Structure 1
Amino acid sequence: MKPIWIVDDDQSIRFVLEKALLREGLPTRSFTNPREVLKALEGLDDAQGPQALVSDIRMPGGSGLDLLTTIKERLPGLPVIIMTAFSDLDSAVSAFQNGAFEYLPKPFDLPKAVELIRRAVEESQREEVAEVKMAASPEMLGQAPAMQDVFRAIGRLSQSNVTVMITGESGSGKELVARALHKHSPRASGPFVAINTAAIPKDLLESELFGHERGAFTGAQTSRRGRFEQADGGTLFLDEIGDMPFDLQTRLLRVLSDGHFYRVGGHNAVKTNVRVIAATHQDLEQRVKQGVFREDLFHRLNVIRLRLPALRERREDVPMLTRHFLLQSAQQLGVEPKRISEAALDLLGTFQFPGNVRQLENICHWLTVMAPAQVIESKDLPPEVIGVVEMGGVLPISMPLSLATAPTVNLQAEDRVHVETAVTASFHVPADKKTAISHDWESELATEALSLLATDRHDVWDVLTQRFESCLIQAALSTTRGRRIEAALKLGIGRNTITRKIQELGIEG
């Protein structure tokens, strides 16, 4: 691990931080003034530089604020923590405009200082992993005409700062498009910051977006920059924007209008220069009509709309994507890449992929681990692709797995009872048919939909979606014996999402 650089002319400060960080397994390197730091940086590349930098403001031989400015020019992704006496707090606040990660007031509480530095290190490591992923793998793959249209659109938008709205089903690769737009834009040297507005609780989302001042609420022991400040000079990707709470939509609209906002508990306006790219799988026009999404915000975001096709609309890309993901999985696991037969590819190409590219990637991970031979045959594909799930010798029992976003593995006898009970209960299967649920559940869904659509109801989408989500979550909870985090992992959703859905749907357990 790269060291944390400490810059302070006070030997006692350097000594205390060195010992505390070493006890936490964090290596350090200390300097007495900014000149020494700049000299040490000469000739070093990113791999040899610091993981984070902690610097005092006032030192003989240079200012910590000047050092911050120089560091950000050379290493824009390096987190810099500014140490300051209380009399220097105005200087520390101005440091945020130059990209400081946080400030650490003197005298400081040592455990809190270590916690802050560790947080800076974690953020630095996340950025490094993201950069490696972006550099090591193709941004996007696709030969289908629909994907070529997307590539052309990215090319046309690459030199623009215009706001873009990306629409498409879950798992279709909306964040990849956002990253491509950023990478090929004039802002490519700036940060790319992504946030899923649906995965963060409502009471925390405002602070996540706009940051907060010290003492703004219980637990806010230090000031914190929000995602808008972190993305200054770069791109902010707002995923699942359709789920943003209505009151926060007003604040977002104001930022998009003039680039100014206030931190939670703050009284001074903060200026930010950010390109916003939003994404959603929802019909925002319909949500505007329902009164849950602001029409003025919709028009502000919907300057350029880019629709990403579902995988079933670009089936000719399935073979290429499959081989790519098999190679990627093998590299991650350190094993020999598996090959796939033409027959297996043909069968895979007939699958509907409701989870889109993300589901295909999960299937390839599963095959890399579970397929018994180096060449994957049709019989080796996961049950939801083949269409039969073998449970306890009873054939066929078909759970609605073709809508899941990850492959399944045959269950032990004890767990099969729980899963079968949960699934049959959710779909109200008659007692005499519990051992043979219809394979053609899509037809039954269509019949139910037609029945509801024939009435005067205007909530058919919500009714059927809630029943479907409830069934999926109950089935997942049954397989994990009520463990929510594990159930969320199996479903391919976040733990905050499953908690929110359980509350919304009134699911017990």
Structure 2
Amino acid sequence: MAKILIVDDDTSFGLMIEGFLKRKGFNTVFVSSYSAALDAIRSSSFDLVLTDYRLDSGNGLDIIPEVRKKDLKTPVVLITAYSDIRVAVNAIKLGAFEYIAKPVNPDELLHVINRGIDKATAAPNTPTQTPVSKYIKGTSRFAEQIDQQIELIAGTDLSVLVLGESGVGKEFVAQRIHELSHRNSKPFVAVDCGALHSDIASSELFGHKKGSFTGALDDKEGHFENVKDGTIFLDEIGNLSYDVQVKLLRAIQERKGRRLGSNEEYTINCRIIAATNEDLRTTSFSGKFREDLYHRLNEFSINLLPLRDRKEDISIYSDRFLKMASNEFNKENIHFGSEVEKIFLSYEWPGNLRELRNVIRRAVLLAKSQEITLAELPPEIQVPTEQADIPVQLREVKEKSEKEMIIETLEQTRYNKAKAARILGIDRKTLYNKIHKYRIDA
């Protein structure tokens, strides 16, 4: 019987969730405060933690590292209002398994909990190995350029840095590079650096010997040793502590790794692909991220635009996600209503592809007929607040003016993008994104 910790300062809501899960056969512990949650996590073991985002003296994001410090494999599910979608995206970045938007649907809650427990049970404390790519080719000009870059770099052994907001599909790009490379018969190991607590990051990456620190009860291979001649994907690389950055730099330079507590070294022969949603060049100037490590990782970079800037691809992604969700929930002939398709194109998608996938999975689960209607979409999707307050004509005028200003500045600087970005008061990455968005020949 799986044991679940429920954390919510709304006692009536928490007790309702607890009663529902008990009726479904789960062993539950309910606490109504942040401090009580920390005490429970530190004193007991749980198969899953279900926490509300807004708590009395903390929040659900603060719960995640505490859980992962105790047991890396325990899934954390965050419950949040849909208006806090950016919070939910940050929760995934910190290592949450999934998020659920209020109002909570019982079927969705039960499905997410079962999926989280099944995943933790099936692969305890092991890296994610994904031999089959789920990469989806878009049809926009930008998507075609990304595909060309992937095909160009896949046949080499250069280190690649994939840039973009959370949820844009950086891991899918990394996996696609691996799939097209000569290493495609070897393991692909994805490591979420954002979910690695600083106390265990070195052990997870490079391994440890029994007795090397408190809790090291057995010898353990690290991810670099485990991947062998394959590809290692270091997601959210900017979250590694400075000490771990030093060890990673040494390992890349010397192509050697060493377990904690051991004097023996092993050869590192894998390809390294890293990803981040930060501007590592800027953080390297401030000293937060080592500049020499940045250059080691950035032998080639791929910059992914957010979904709101490549809306031509939304129908491709939504159709694929619909098919995947239909197979998952055993529902046939499910399709989008015309109003839903319009909403998908007008919504800004702050959570990018991850949010689009979750919205579609939820809609398929809740669908009462073969057509997905507005009733199956979260309230924030049905009436996008950011768009509702801005007349369409005003947005078009604003975008036209911005495009003209960028073109004029590029012409003045003879298409020196670094200089143009300085004049416009934006960084070079933002300028590239807007050039792609407005399809400016530069």
Q: TM-score, normalised by structure 2?
A: 0.58
Query: Could you say which residue in structure 2 is the equivalent of 1:176?
Result: 172
- Code of the residue aligned with 1:191 in structure 2: it is P
Instruction: Trace 1:225-304 onto structure 2 (pairs within 5 A).
Output: 225-304=221-300
- Note closer, same or farther for the CA distance 1:127–1:171 as it changes in structure 2 (3 Å cut): closer
2:222 corresponds to 1:207:
no
Query: Could you say which residue in structure 1 is the equivalent of 2:194?
Result: 198
- Note closer, same or farther for the CA distance 1:175–1:127 as it changes in structure 2 (3 Å cut): closer
Query: Could you say which residue in structure 1 is the equivalent of 2:377?
Result: 381
Q: Following TM superposition, by how much is the alpha carbon of 1:141 offset from its aligned partner in structure 2, in angstroms?
A: 2.8
Deviations 1:413-465 (A, max 9, x none): xxxxxxxxxxxxxxxxxxxxxxxxx968xxxxxxxxxxxxxxxxxxxxxxxxx
Q: Following TM superposition, by how much is the alpha carbon of 1:313 offset from its aligned partner in structure 2, in angstroms?
A: 1.5
Distance in 1 (CA, whole Å) between partners of 2:141 and 2:371 is 30
Deviations 1:42-90 (A, max 9, x none): xxxxxxxxxxxxxxxxxxxxxxxxxxxxxxxxxxxxxxxxxxxxxxxxx
- Indicate the percent of aligned positions where both proteins have the same amino acid: 34
User: Is 2:127–2:223's contact at 8 Å kept on the other side of the alignment?
Assistant: no
Deviations 1:281-335 (A, max 9, x none): 0011121122110111111111101011211111011112112111110100112
Query: Could you say which residue in structure 1 is the equivalent of 2:136?
Result: 140
User: Is 1:188–1:234's contact at 8 Å kept on the other side of the alignment?
Assistant: yes
- Note closer, same or farther for the CA distance 1:126–1:234 as it changes in structure 2 (3 Å cut): closer
Q: Following TM superposition, by how much is the alpha carbon of 1:374 offset from its aligned partner in structure 2, in angstroms?
A: 1.7
Q: Following TM superposition, by how much is the alpha carbon of 1:139 offset from its aligned partner in structure 2, in angstroms?
A: 2.0
- Note closer, same or farther for the CA distance 1:380–1:211 as it changes in structure 2 (3 Å cut): closer
Distance in 2 (CA, whole Å) between partners of 1:382 and 1:307 is 30
- Code of the residue aligned with 2:233 in structure 1: it is F
2:318 is paired with a residue whose SS is helix
Q: Following TM superposition, by how much is the alpha carbon of 1:379 offset from its aligned partner in structure 2, in angstroms?
A: 5.2
Structure 1 counterpart of 2:361, from 357, 360, 365: 365
Query: Could you say which residue in structure 1 is the equivalent of 2:107?
Result: none
- Note closer, same or farther for the CA distance 1:264–1:124 as it changes in structure 2 (3 Å cut): closer
1:203 is paired with a residue whose SS is coil
Point out where structure 1 has 5 or more consecutive residues left out of the alignment: 1-118, 389-397, 403-437, 441-509
1:186 is paired with a residue whose SS is coil
User: Is 1:213–1:266's contact at 8 Å kept on the other side of the alignment?
Assistant: yes
- Code of the residue aligned with 1:385 in structure 2: it is I
2:220 is paired with a residue whose SS is coil
Instruction: Trace 1:55-454 onto structure 2 (pairs within 5 A).
Output: 122=123, 130-131=130-131, 134=132, 138-378=134-374, 380-387=376-383
CA RMSD of aligned residues (A): 2.7
How many equivalent residue pairs?
273
Deviations 1:158-213 (A, max 9, x none): 11010000001100000001111111111111111111111011000010001001
Distance in 2 (CA, whole Å) between partners of 1:328 and 1:120 is 23
Deviations 1:11-51 (A, max 9, x none): xxxxxxxxxxxxxxxxxxxxxxxxxxxxxxxxxxxxxxxxx
Q: Following TM superposition, by how much is the alpha carbon of 1:380 offset from its aligned partner in structure 2, in angstroms?
A: 4.3
User: Is 1:147–1:309's contact at 8 Å kept on the other side of the alignment?
Assistant: no
2:157 is paired with a residue whose SS is coil
Deviations 1:370-398 (A, max 9, x none): 2333222345432111227xxxxxxxxx7
Distance in 1 (CA, whole Å) between partners of 2:376 and 2:223 is 44
User: Is 1:326–1:337's contact at 8 Å kept on the other side of the alignment?
Assistant: no
User: Is 2:136–2:317's contact at 8 Å kept on the other side of the alignment?
Assistant: no
Distance in 2 (CA, whole Å) between partners of 1:165 and 1:207 is 23
Distance in 1 (CA, whole Å) between partners of 2:293 and 2:123 is 34
Q: Following TM superposition, by how much is the alpha carbon of 1:261 offset from its aligned partner in structure 2, in angstroms?
A: 2.2
Distance in 1 (CA, whole Å) between partners of 2:123 and 2:204 is 17
Distance in 2 (CA, whole Å) between partners of 1:120 and 1:384 is 34
Query: Could you say which residue in structure 2 is the equivalent of 1:58?
Result: none
- Code of the residue aligned with 2:339 in structure 1: it is A
Distance in 2 (CA, whole Å) between partners of 1:214 and 1:371 is 51
Q: Following TM superposition, by how much is the alpha carbon of 1:149 offset from its aligned partner in structure 2, in angstroms?
A: 0.7
1:354 is paired with a residue whose SS is coil
- Note closer, same or farther for the CA distance 1:293–1:207 as it changes in structure 2 (3 Å cut): same
2:195 is paired with a residue whose SS is coil
User: Is 2:364–2:372's contact at 8 Å kept on the other side of the alignment?
Assistant: no
Q: Following TM superposition, by how much is the alpha carbon of 1:120 offset from its aligned partner in structure 2, in angstroms?
A: 12
1:279 is paired with a residue whose SS is strand
Q: Following TM superposition, by how much is the alpha carbon of 1:280 offset from its aligned partner in structure 2, in angstroms?
A: 0.1
Distance in 1 (CA, whole Å) between partners of 2:214 and 2:375 is 56
Distance in 1 (CA, whole Å) between partners of 2:191 and 2:213 is 22
Distance in 2 (CA, whole Å) between partners of 1:208 and 1:126 is 9
Distance in 2 (CA, whole Å) between partners of 1:213 and 1:190 is 25
Q: Following TM superposition, by how much is the alpha carbon of 1:121 offset from its aligned partner in structure 2, in angstroms?
A: 7.8
- Code of the residue aligned with 1:194 in structure 2: it is A
Query: Could you say which residue in structure 2 is the equivalent of 1:39?
Result: none
Distance in 2 (CA, whole Å) between partners of 1:363 and 1:263 is 42
- Note closer, same or farther for the CA distance 1:224–1:374 as it changes in structure 2 (3 Å cut): same
2:217 is paired with a residue whose SS is coil
- Note closer, same or farther for the CA distance 1:330–1:306 as it changes in structure 2 (3 Å cut): same
Task: Give the greater-gyration-radius structure (CA).
Answer: 1
Distance in 1 (CA, whole Å) between partners of 2:341 and 2:126 is 37
- Note closer, same or farther for the CA distance 1:340–1:197 as it changes in structure 2 (3 Å cut): same
1:198 is paired with a residue whose SS is helix
Q: Following TM superposition, by how much is the alpha carbon of 1:221 offset from its aligned partner in structure 2, in angstroms?
A: 2.1
Q: Following TM superposition, by how much is the alpha carbon of 1:150 offset from its aligned partner in structure 2, in angstroms?
A: 0.8
Q: Following TM superposition, by how much is the alpha carbon of 1:230 offset from its aligned partner in structure 2, in angstroms?
A: 0.6
User: Is 1:212–1:266's contact at 8 Å kept on the other side of the alignment?
Assistant: yes
User: Is 2:128–2:190's contact at 8 Å kept on the other side of the alignment?
Assistant: no
Distance in 1 (CA, whole Å) between partners of 2:270 and 2:126 is 23
User: Is 2:255–2:268's contact at 8 Å kept on the other side of the alignment?
Assistant: yes
Distance in 1 (CA, whole Å) between partners of 2:268 and 2:321 is 38
User: Is 1:339–1:375's contact at 8 Å kept on the other side of the alignment?
Assistant: yes
